[in-house]
Amino acid sequence: MKTMETTEILELLDANEDLYIIDVREEDEVAQGMIPGAQHIALGTIQDRLNELDASKPYILVCKAGARSANACAFLEDRGFNVTNLEGGMLAYDGELEFK
């Protein structure tokens, strides 16, 4: 499984790269702020929402600490998706936040 450090995602965000970020945390966690531009798909709903994802796009998955997003990465990787897990999750991320 591919992984990425939070410094790498911050550099990509600063460079205005087109990123496809999926936040797999629960609703109450997401309310505390998300990485700008991230799409919220709670881990327990990924299987039901596969039709919303494009297998041709590279996704970065994030959760609170990295374990749930690693599980989501494994699930999606098994289905042919190009995914990267954000190491340390939101606990390690110290960039800008977006509130939805």
pLDDT in tens, 43-93: 999 999 999 999 999 999 999 999 999 999 999 999 999 999 999 999 999
Query: Distance (Å, rounded) from C-alpha 9 to C-alpha 96?
Result: 11
Classify burial at 12, counting beta carbons within 10 Å of its beta carbon; exposed 0-12, middle 13-18, buried 19 or more.
Answer: middle
First to last CA, the chain: 29
Q: How confident is the model at residue 11 (pLDDT cuts 50, 70, 90)?
A: very high
> Is 63 labeled as catalytic in the residue annotation?
yes
Q: How confident is the model at residue 28 (pLDDT cuts 50, 70, 90)?
A: very high
pTM for this one?
0.96
- 34, 63, 76, 83: which is the annotated catalytic residue? 63
Q: Give the model's pLDDT for residue 65.
A: 98
Query: Distance (Å, rounded) from C-alpha 16 to C-alpha 10?
Result: 10
100 pLDDT more than 90? no
Q: Give the model's pLDDT for residue 50.
A: 97
Taking Cα atoms as reference points, which of 98, 88, 76 lies closest to residue 8?
88
9 pLDDT more than 90? yes
